[in-house]
Structure 1
Amino acid sequence: MLNARHHRNALTGLTVLACATPALAAAQAPDDSGSHWGMDISLILEGVYYNEMSEGVHEPAGFDDGHDHGHGHDHDHDHSFDDGFNLGHNELVFEADLGGLLDGTLMIGFDEDDIEIEEAYLTTRALPAGLQLKAGKFLSDIGYINSRHVHDWDFVDRPLVNEYLFGDHGIQETGVQATWVAPTETYTQLGVELLQGDGTFARYEGDIGTYEVPNTGDEINSDLSDTSGPRLLTAFARVGPDLGPDHAAQFGVSGGYANTWQKATEHSSGLEEWDGDAWFAGLDAVYKYDSGRAYGHGDWRVQGEYFYRVIDVDYQRREDNTTIAGNAEGSGKAKQDGIYVQGVYGFAPRWEAGLRTEAVGLTNDGLPTNEGDDRDFSVPGFDTSYRHSAQVTFRPVEPVFLRAQLTQNDFVDDHGDRDRGLEFMFQVNVALGAHGAHRF
């Protein structure tokens, strides 16, 4: 986390860079061979008013790792809001091209507390036969919502299944991606990604060394070991049939495998460790209708995704280097899933309304542990949590939208208690500067 001085310095640096880059871009002239270099800059600003109208359970049962990042750190940048006014998720984006060879993208995200490089990658433009390569840090193209930023969402918040299975940013990793678009009348894309594996899904601790038990002074050597990256492999396929000028659809399937999944939790009585691997599989679908009327009037779109995740680990809890706590050793699988379906309709020019319903933990077996009431080793099971949202959005001009959203959280906690909460959010999002067309 940045302190105030560092925060001011960082923002000053970003401002100087944003002001200087257009001059640098303008100074680049084509050379004699006709090569070309140009840059576009955009700034996306967001503010959110948040009101927790009634308090309920804040986290769905069984998903204790939904907001964790690798190396035991928590995400600081988790898009959560305080009651009242919030500076939301803002982005400064630089996009450049090198003739017909490469595109480069740098996206810097910031809010009131943090600044981070969200994406920084190069993409090829001139490979033959429908091939394309991407390298750097980027949002994975698995599913539908994962690769889209806040300003492209139809609701204020990320779908639960993406957040709690993959993390606060979804799958966001450093690595390489290869895609191929088939030369067919029906749009068909296949893709594969080789990623470092250092996030929520591919959780990685490495060798954490020695832990000293506070009450006894005993030292416990971690059994976790360093594993070289890349540790995460993903693949996806999507098909977009030709439905005519007014209708469009896209159907996708994706999956991934992490060869390392590690977690260590330190207690006053010892050290808990989980060590294994993980995989996921999912389906996504999107349908859009274009009425042909002005400013989205009569348009509608429907989308949904389902993902299933398995974490297969060995578990142990040790009181010292040689003593395994009673019944605190074994193997097990955490099996969890989630789904959402949403629809948005343009009920007037520049106005749209949407509904979304979600569930996580339809299958909800947690990580193996011996923390139950009887202190026996077990794989705990939890109930399903739900969330329902409604939104109304107004777009006075294309780069600006104002959105009001009402959300009911119907979460159950780890003890089986269900308590519904109600939230209201009002979002203002403004895109300044060059901004490319939205993807399908």
Structure 2
Amino acid sequence: MREIDGGICAVPGVRACGIKRGRYGVAMIACSGYAAGVFTRNRVRAAPIEVTIDHLRRSGGRTEGIIANSGSANAYTGVRGIRDAERMAGIMAGILGCSPEMISVASTGVIGRYLDLDLISSLAKEVVPSLRTSPDASSDAARAIMTTDTRVKEIAVEHEGFHMGGICKGAGMIEPDMATMLAFIYTDADVGPGLYPFLKEAVDVSFNMLTVDGDTSTNDTVLLTSTRMVECDPDSFKEAMEYVCVSLARMIARDGEGATKAMEVEVTGAASSEDARRAAKSIARSNLVKAALYGEDPNWGRIVCAAGRSGAEFDPTKISLSISSSIGSVLLVDRGIIVDGVLEEAKKVMSSDEIFIHIDLGAGAGSARSFGCDLSHEYVNINAKYTT
């Protein structure tokens, strides 16, 4: 696996661009291919998701492009929201000269506010002349869909002769079953018509193991598009999909709203893979663990507590727990026995901006990892005044 420059534009056949005006932006991605999507499980599902699902069904998975906006989520907007999302697709379809059902739509921003279609149309017209294949075009598209994000999130790889690139946005309202996140992934690999199983499996070990604040968004969308230009071994494709999705999930964790530290939790020795997932998500989700992370406080009892309430089956007397970072690694609990005299060393380890937590439950061979961040004062500041 070799990382390369260019984001989604590292994939031949992908043109992109984006523009941002204050809190509002429009990104456009043009590429002929076949697409599959994974979407939020929130019962309140945004209009662009309903429209995109319908379009993918009507087109048989064929796609010509994506149009996405930031500033308004177009969620909980009723019949008008559906109509507005269809009009967004029509804007892109008119530009590319294709039927609207060949266009996917995505939105992110404030829930319960209608789209400003005049503004979106105006921004789209500005974007069109800049649709291009250069690496900076991918960055422009990623920047256009940022809300509380503080950095562009993109990656591209070359693997076994094919390319895969992705961009995403996401910083808050992040919880397993995806996040307030949009992710657009492109590849020239041909693994046949069955893209969805590969996407779903990659999402399950990446975005669905990601949490910032425990809230599941109305707009979560991950779209995978393949131009089918390069024959590909399914195992190689699976490997690249997981690599790209996990890399993007880590970027979101590092950029969590107000975050000062990223956290990765690895659970091993679980009775089953599902138990490992439960424990890993419970630890990464715990506000007490997250607050301790922010304060660089090696209060490891909170980690054990979070594992214990996860529903995973294990014997507490068999747990081993360690934390590590670029500074070093510290064993805190060894098969149920507290390790004395290591808290000062643990505090030094926690001064790094990326912390790894490893807990062995001693109950079997199940394993999983989750991704998260600390909980800072700034998270409250951002979300206390988000719409004002």
Task: Say whether the fold is shared (TM-score over 0.5).
Answer: no
TM-score range, shorter chain: under 0.3
Larger helix proportion, structure 1 or 2? 2
State the TM-score, normalizing by the size of structure 2.
0.24
Larger strand proportion, structure 1 or 2? 1
Structure possessing the higher radius of gyration over alpha carbons = 1
Higher relative contact order (CA 8 A, sep 6+): 2
State the TM-score, normalizing by the size of structure 1.
0.22
